[in-house]
Amino acid sequence: MMIDSLKSHLPLQNIQTITPFNKGWSDDRKFIVVTVDNKYLLRVGDINNKNRYIQHARLLEQAAENGLPTHRLIAHGTLLADTHYFLLLGWLAGDDAEDVITSFSQAEQYNLGLEAGKILKVIHNFKLVSASSESWAKRFNRKIDRKIEMYENCELKYENGHLLQDVVSKYRHLLENKKVVQHHGDFHIGNMLIDENDKLHIIDFDRHDTGEPYEEFNRITWCASLSPAFASGRIDGYFNNDVPDEFWELLLLYISSNMLSSLPWAIPFGDKEITTMRKSYAEILDWYDDFIRVVPNWYKIY
């Protein structure tokens, strides 16, 4: 993809530079666009993903309507002889939250988590930008069955890995008769920024999907590993300090089902990722006292 071609197709005046921006795990290509007056983030992907990009744009529009701190949508559309689709976003200046969270006091970390939880609650009240005709129980039970099969067929196993399957069997009945909401899709501290005024911003809606509300907490393990205070705040902010018992049971189900597939997923990436997943599982066993408890030991009000 030629930078000169991008310059001639973008709806911007006085473009000075377009520079590749290679952070993150998304499949699209990202660029920093600088004009005389402003700075932007440009996301470009194959035209076959057009609908996903349009849905992404709709989420950003709803975020703006609700005053959520995230990228401002500038423009979107086809690009490069209709072979690609783009999103042009306002630039967000700030530090990666995962890099700086521990520089804050415990109380400040908790308060930032409260903000994250409140933001997630608003996202879950968005209008759906996509939908499935299947019930949540049918969708997620199929996913669980696939993860169990992946683990059983995996050449490697966790120590005490059978406990994961016990947890899944115990709680999967809770999936019945659940509502479906809009999901950010990858909501964790790695997709958040903290600006110079210590304000939290949410980024990367590109993995958006729909699902049962509490499933969006399945990546809170990454938050808790870095900052138990932040993770605790996320939960309290979402529930306004009134956490239902069923949340903890469903959270344990979602975390456990994720761990089943994490080890098979890691194998193609080598020993480093395998070691990371083993450590993650050991950490989870510690949090839950080998699943004797339902509420993790890191959760408290700071």
Q: Does a structural domain hold residue 293?
A: no
Among 80, 83, 70, 76, CA closest to 54: 76
Pick the last residue of a domain from 90, 120, 136.
90
pLDDT tens per residue across all 302 residues of the chain: 556 677 777 888 888 898 988 876 667 889 999 999 899 999 999 999 999 999 999 999 999 999 999 999 999 999 877 888 999 999 999 999 999 999 999 999 999 999 999 999 999 999 999 988 899 999 999 999 999 999 999 999 999 999 999 999 999 999 999 999 999 999 999 999 999 999 999 999 999 999 999 999 999 999 999 999 999 999 999 999 999 999 999 999 999 999 999 999 999 999 999 999 999 999 999 999 999 999 999 999 77
Evaluated on CA atoms 223, 113, 61, 126, the torsion sign reads positive
Q: What are the tokens at 260?
A: 């089943």
Which residues lie below 8 Å from residue 134, measured CB to CB, with a gap of 6+? Answer: none
Are 117 and 238 contained in the same domain?
yes
Is residue 181 helix, strand or coil? strand
Both structure tokens of 100: 């700086």
154 and 223 housed in the same domain: yes
Are residues 288 and 170 in contact, defined by beta-carbon separation less than 8 angstroms?
no
Contacts of 4 (CB under 8 A, 6+ apart): none
Owning domain of residue 20: 3-90
Domain end among 90, 121, 155: 90
Pairing of strands 200-202, 95-96: unpaired
Has residue 297 been placed in a domain?
Answer: no
| 278: Cβ contacts below 8 Å, ≥ 6 apart | 158, 159, 263
Q: Which of 71, 90, 109 is the last residue of a domain?
A: 90
Q: Kindly report the pTM of this predicted structure.
A: 0.93
